Structure 1
Amino acid sequence: MGLISAPEAAVQLGVSRTRIQQRIQDGSLPARKVGRQWVIDQADLREIAHHTDPGRPLSRASAGALIAVAADVADHLSPWAKSRARARLAQLLEEAPHERDLDDFAVLMLRTLGHRAARELYRASPLDLAGLRDDARMHLSGLSSPKAQMSALDVVEGYSRAGDRDALVRDHLLVPASADRANVVLHVVDEAVDPERYKDIDLVIAADLAEHPGPRERARAQELLAERAQRRGA
């Protein structure tokens, strides 16, 4: 499983860095120092994952409603659900762009949109990435979206229906991989969800980028939300 930093552990559990530090200090989360940084074995993290308060993340249905409102395709929602989703979107756009700590920003995004899809990591031959990128069953987002402005040609990220996942894995010879080896990020949505809805939506792209550990990706995610907030206020 490997070692991860305390900030990465906070994001995976959906808690603040302060809470991780508290658990390290009280001994409830095994950790050791490498240089000046605390690191945690992912096996130990998995042991406590089911006992950690995730900060009441939104359900998949609520996350989907939020995205539908952001994409302006919310006619299928009830008036109450639509109003609730709009209020949540307004709150996110009020808070997220101003969160100074990028790790805490990532936690906020995870709590709000972490259940929008199942995130799966794979390794593909670099020669097969172009074919995967062009596959109609793969709806590009995150690092692979032009809006991300990441120029990540060595990675493919996108959404697919659950019913297409096995065929994509088989046809492109995808192999499950750890975060440090993966070059394919697949977000799998329910059969009833149209993955095309997730394409080119700044809120979705920001959520995708926030799930990557790099500060560059998370900073760009925050920029996307700040840009949307600015357009909303104009």
Structure 2
Amino acid sequence: MELSLTQAAALLGKTRRQVEYLIKTGRLTARKVGTRWVIDDAELPLSPGQRQARERKASALHGVADEVLQQVAPRTRYSLRDLNAFREALAIFESGRNSLPQDHAALALIRECLDDLAVGCHRFGYRTKADAYSRARDRASLAVCALMVEPHNAAEPLIERLEQTLIPSIAGLLRRTERSTRE
């Protein structure tokens, strides 16, 4: 980092004139930018205590960085598990499977929604990806309709999650995919 004469003087515990003298005698390296002196902070002479403190800080920083880098798993390729919409649809499906009759139409539609999200996630072409996500959103909407048409006492929380979480999440996937087709 580049420091002005005043900043360097404050760090060294000297006056501005003393820093100018150090530059003039060659004991401190500085360069002139226009009419101002600029001093690289790495060039400042350090007392033994300052040097030890800087080394301790650097080694602690390296230790933390090494620890963090070891904790970070190698980056996997794009996965279906990365999609928030898929995770939410799966949670809704499991919740519905535990609370609705097994032959309820909404369960089949949510299952098809999961299938469409999986297809869309692994499609390469943006158009086919968008089509799969659009089908998933349609199936989630139809699941809401099925829950309203075939009432059940456990339907309300599922409707809420479908409308407030899953469908907007799929809409976000569609927006992102459509934005990519325009670019």
* TM-score band w.r.t. shorter chain: under 0.3
- Which has the larger share of helix? 2
- Which has the larger share of strand? 1
Q: Give the structure with higher Rg (CA).
A: 2
TM-score (norm: length of structure 2): 0.26
TM-score (norm: length of structure 1): 0.21
